[in-house]
Structure 1
């Protein structure tokens, strides 16, 4: 059977005692781990640019709140496409993952899921994403299809450039276009600046994440901004997060946002500053915690944008 698997235990850095490991049938757990369902931070990071964009579009359109149907679709699409992206990434990186301590227990290198099973699972998740995409207007559908290009090339970049996090940003920030396009059927400068800010933010948080693997990455020849920046990571994060903040603020100005949006952006600066001050690049567990805290940063910005849309509407 295609979906017959052997559960040999959770991935090394997975969330402990997650519902995946306590509630799912053992035959489905490897697929859930392949899609990273036990690590929701990934789809939150993919979702936030979508929701930020939808909230900015609501401000620009003079609506009291983002389109709730669009928010729900983005949520489902983010979970499905993040899972599909992780499955694709693991298929591409199986040889590398088998050599890295943190990733060798992933379902494919651990032998829990075969390559054929992973490909079938990838197809099913992509179909869910396609169904979601088809609910939007034609312009958004075409824009979503184009997003597959940065998604497809990202897993290979760690072999050729010290900036694979840049390519992750190109893929993960695409939602900055989607929320706006879903509302207006076109793009403008506001989502462009939001997208650029999202790229800087992504490079920053994924640099923190990549510090967990820098020793193994050096041994197997994998490149990253964590290895590139090294002991200069904190100054680099200051530049990246400052640029992200400036670009997000510019997007808000172009969307004709009011004070609440900028209060949210300022509160976000405090959170990002805390990440930089607290960071110990040689503490892998702390790097993971700080990386996950970017889900909170997403809520901060989104809350500011939503409050601003409501206040402006009043």
Structure 2
């Protein structure tokens, strides 16, 4: 049972949280924080993030054993078979479909695009140094899906929120990729951490600045209160802290910086919530 939880990363919910926060931002900014919508999307995030992890581990089953951080994943260490993984994926997708059918048809279209992005993401690191952008897109589909399911329109706030989330995702997933950079170079896996090279910290910083500016504009467009801008101030302080953590490119500190982004998402949400 533990192996299945590990396969779906339910023992390490950071990925679920990083996907959940932007979805909650969208629900509250769309002014539709009903129990029904919130429950459907929270469950959808958990199920689809779990499915994405299964797809990722299946795609990387021949590589994970050579990477320090991933060598103990269930498929890599032989705790589960490929058939086990595929059946787990099938069950998760059935649950996701059940949730999707409770929403409108416009949501179905966006869900198809989200699923396509989820399927291709694990393979992007073989062909491009920009898989983090694909992940950013994958982690942003929940935003227009919220607007589709609630107001059936896509205002400027929706797309600015997507843009901010993509920039933020590329920043924190580059921090994550910095942990694996040495191993990835050995086995031929590509990432923005490798592409950016010695400019990695600078580019992460620029992406963080763009994220904050985009979120500031969203606050202006939606006439959010002082609480929101206090949340953004805390986000800025957290980004500065992350820059300090990654300054020497130490693996453990880069991973700590990545984990710190859970607080970033939380601060933005609390700012919106109290506005």
Interval of TM-score (by shorter of Structure 1 and Structure 2)? over 0.9
1:221 shift after superposition: 0.6
- Aligned equivalents of 1:180, 1:263: Cα separation in 2: 26
- Aligned equivalents of 1:119, 1:103: Cα separation in 2: 19
One of 120, 133, 137 as aligned partner of 2:87: 120
Alpha carbons 2:245, 2:256 under 8 Å: kept: no
After superposition, the C-alpha distances for 1:32-58 in whole angstroms (9 at most, x for unaligned) are 100001111010011111101111111
**Cα 1:267/1:75, change in 2 over 3 Å:** same
**Cα 1:216/1:269, change in 2 over 3 Å:** same
- How do residues 49-198 of structure 1 correspond to structure 2 at under 5 angstroms? 49-58=22-31, 66-198=33-165
- 1:261 partnered with 2:228: yes
1:281 shift after superposition: 4.9
After superposition, the C-alpha distances for 1:19-73 in whole angstroms (9 at most, x for unaligned) are xxxxxxxxx1111100001111010011111101111111xxxx7xx22322222
One of 218, 233, 247 as aligned partner of 2:185: 218
SS in structure 1 opposite 2:224? coil
- Aligned equivalents of 1:284, 1:176: Cα separation in 2: 31
Q: How many residues align?
A: 275
SS in structure 2 opposite 1:159? helix
Alpha carbons 2:245, 2:254 under 8 Å: kept: no
Structure holding more helix per residue? 2
**Cα 1:144/1:256, change in 2 over 3 Å:** farther
1:153 shift after superposition: 1.3
User: Quick check: 93-102 or 291-300, which moved more?
Assistant: 93-102
- 1:246 partnered with 2:213: yes
CA RMSD of aligned residues (A): 1.5
1:292 shift after superposition: 1.1
Alpha carbons 1:56, 1:257 under 8 Å: kept: no
Match of 1:306 in 2: 273
- 1:42 partnered with 2:15: yes
1:222 shift after superposition: 0.6
Gaps of 5+ in 1: 1-27, 309-314
**Cα 1:241/1:111, change in 2 over 3 Å:** same
**Cα 1:257/1:182, change in 2 over 3 Å:** farther
- Aligned equivalents of 1:141, 1:258: Cα separation in 2: 34
After superposition, the C-alpha distances for 1:253-281 in whole angstroms (9 at most, x for unaligned) are 33343333233223212211211122245
Alpha carbons 1:147, 1:171 under 8 Å: kept: yes
- Aligned equivalents of 2:27, 2:202: Cα separation in 1: 32
- Aligned equivalents of 1:172, 1:228: Cα separation in 2: 21
**Cα 1:55/1:168, change in 2 over 3 Å:** same
User: Quick check: 106-115 or 258-267, which moved more?
Assistant: 258-267
TM-score (structure 2 length as normaliser):
0.95
1:303 shift after superposition: 0.5
Alpha carbons 1:191, 1:251 under 8 Å: kept: no
Alpha carbons 1:47, 1:75 under 8 Å: kept: yes
- Aligned equivalents of 1:104, 1:85: Cα separation in 2: 18
